[in-house]
Amino acid sequence: MSTSDDRRPLVDGRFQLISRLGSGGMGTVWRARDIALHRDVALKEVRPPDPVVEEATPGLGAQLRERAVREARALARLSNPHVVTIHHIVEPQDGSHPWIVMELVEGRSMYDRLAEGPMPVPDVLTLGRQVLSALRAAHAAGIQHRDVKPANVLLRPDGSAVLTDFGIAVFSEATSRLTSTGDLIGSPEFIAPERVRGEEGNPASDLWSLGMLLYVAAEGHHPLRRATSLATVVAVLDDPIPVPVRSGALAPVLTQLLVRDPALRPDGARLEELLAAAEVEAEARHPGAGAAAPPGPYVAPYPHPAYGPPTVPSPGHPSPSGGFGPPVPPPTSPSRPSLPSRPRRRVTTLAVSLALAAAAVVGVVNLLPGGDGRETGAKGGTTPSASAGGRTPTPGTTAPTATTVPAAGGTLLTTARVRTVIEAFRKASGTTTMKELTIYENYALADIPTRPGAKTYDAYEYRDGVARKTGPGGTIDADSPDEQPLDMAAMPWDSLPALMKRGERELKVENPTLRYVIVDRWTFNEDRPTLRFYLTNDYRAVGYLAADTGGKVVSTYAAS
C-alpha cells in the first residue's frame, strides 16, 4: 500500500483512506476518496479485524478472500436502487487481502435507527418493500443474501433503504464449498430455522430474515432474543413467536411470513402484494401518519432493540400480555408456527457450533444444553401464565385444550411432582407416550403423538397446575430411532433425587441458576430412552448426568 502526498494510505494507488466506518467478522469498512474520479467511496478491507482470530483459524484468510471475490461478482450482477452498488475490486498481486470498492451510502444503518426504538408502521412497510425489492432482484439472479439484518440495511438521508454486505451470499454457481461444518452463516437472531438445520438453496429463508427484521422494527424488540447466543439459536428453531401488538396492518403479514415451514411462506411476489395491501390499510387507518407510532402498548426498548439484552419494562410501560416484556423466559403465547419435519435432535451439534461461532469460536460441539431450546434463560425465571381461559389464540388456530390438575407448590423436579406432570399430560392427551419431555422447576413441555402410531405430534405445556396443548409440533421421522416415542411413566423417576444430588456434587457448575430434566431417545445412548439432568449458570457453564431406564448413569459431562 502506497501513500498520498499528505501521507494518507493509498489502496491500489488510487483510493485514499479517510476514516474507518465500522468493523465486523468479514473485515473493516473505510470511507475513502477516489482520487481518479474525485468522489468518496466505501472501501471494504476483507480480513478479520482481530489478528488473533486469523491466527487461530487456519485458512480463514483464504476463505475471506474468496468470499470477497464472490461478493463483488454477486453485486455486479444486480441493478436495483436498493442494492449497494459495487464499483471495483482490488486483488493485490502479493496475495494479501482484497478490497471491495462500493457506493458510499451517506446516512446510517437501520441498526442505528432502531437504537431509538420502534419505527412507525408506515415507515416499516415502506422499508420492507424496498428491501424485498432488493431480495427479489437478487433471487432472480440466483443469489441468496443469507444475512438480512438491521446492520446490513443502510438508510439514505431521504430514508430509502439499501441492502448491503453480500459477503456470505450464496449463488447458484458456488454454494456449500465455502462453508465448513460448524461455521455460523448468518446472525443468530435473524437466521431462518431451516438454515440452522443446514438446509440451503431456498430464497424463502431470506424472506424469514426480512420478516424478523420487520417485526423488530415495528414491535421494538426481538421476539426470539434470549440471554445467550446458544439459547437464541435454539429459540429460532422451536420457540413460539408472540403475536405482534404494535404492528397494525403489518401484523397479518408477519403472521403469514414467520412460519417455520418455508413451503408455507408467501413467495417474493405474493409478499409484495401483501405489503402493498398493508400500506393501503395503514394509510386508511391513520391518514398521513408517518411519524406517529401505532396505538397499542409499548415495551421499554432494550439498550439496543435488535440485539441487546432485555430490560425490565418501566412502570409507565407495562408488559402487555401474549409473551411480550422481558423475553428471556419462553413466550407464553399458544401460537406455535409450523415446524419443518426434520428431526430436532439431529441438529444438536450444528446448533451449538453456530452459537459458538457467533463468539468467534469455530468448531463442532456434541452437547446442546437442553436440546429443545425452550429454556427459561439465565435466571431460570418464568412469567406468570394466563388462566386456562385467558389466552387468545392466534388467528387461524384453535383454542388450546386444557386439563386442570391440583397444582403442587415448589419445584417440579421431585419424583412425586414429575408423576403429577405426566398424569396431567395423560389427561390432556390420552397417553403417557411422548417423543420428548422437558421439565423445568416451574413448568414442563412435552411433544406427544397426535394419536397412537401417528407420525405427527403436538406440543403441550404444563404450567401452574394446568396441562394444555399449545399447537402443532411437527413430524416424527419413522426412519430415525431417536425420534420414536416412549412411555414417560416407565422412566426411573424414583432415582431422580439421587441423580440430582449427584449432579449438584459432581458437575462443577458454580452457582447454578437453571435446573431441568430432558427425557427422550438420546443419540449418545444408542437411541435408548434416557433421562438427563442438567445444570447451567449465568456464565454459560453447563453439565449433565444421563441415566438409563434402570437409573444407572451412562454418561457425564462436567463443566470445565
Bridge partners (DSSP) listed for residue 11: 15
Q: Can you tell me the distance from the alpha carbon of 533 to that of 548, in angstroms, rounded to the nearest whole number?
A: 12
Residue among 67, 78, 81, 225 at smallest CA distance from 150: 225
Using alpha carbons, select from 127, 123, 37 the residue that is nearest to residue 82.
127
Whole-angstrom Cα distance, residue 325 to residue 368?
26
- β-partners of residue 32 are 17, 41
Task: Let me know: does 335 contact 242? Beta carbons within 8 Å.
Answer: yes
Residue 12: active-site member: no
What separation, in Å, do the N-terminal and C-terminal C-alpha atoms of the chain show?
45
Annotated active-site residue in 34, 94, 112, 147: 147
AA identity, residue 259: V
Nearest to 145 by CA among 205, 223, 189, 216: 205
Closest alpha carbon to 215 in 168, 247, 181: 247
User: Residue 64 corresponds to which cell in the numbers above?
Assistant: 475471506
Helices 121-140 + 268-285 axis angle, to 10 = 170
Torsional class of 45: left (φ above 0), alpha (ψ -120 to 50), beta (otherwise):
beta
Backbone angles phi, psi at 391, to 5 degrees: -105, 140
Helix (H) or strand (E) holding 456: strand 456-463
Evaluate the CA torsion angle 247, 249, 254, 256 in order and state its sign: positive
CA distance 140 to 237: 28
Beta-carbon neighbour count of residue 504 at 10 Å?
14
**List of long-range contacts for 69-77, beta carbons under 8 Å, 24+ apart:** 69/98, 70/167, 70/169, 70/171, 70/174, 70/178, 71/100, 71/165, 71/166, 71/167, 71/169, 72/100, 73/171, 74/138, 74/141, 74/143, 74/166, 74/169, 74/171, 75/102, 75/166, 77/141, 77/143, 77/171
Nearest to 351 by CA among 337, 363, 360: 363
**What are the helix (H) ranges across 174-228?**
193-196, 204-219
Rounded Cα gap, residues 72 and 460, in angstroms: 48
Provide the grid cell at 177. Answer: 464449498
Per-residue DSSP letters for 300-330? PPPSSTTTSPP-PPPTTSPPPTTT-SS-SSP
Q: Which residues are catalytic?
A: 147
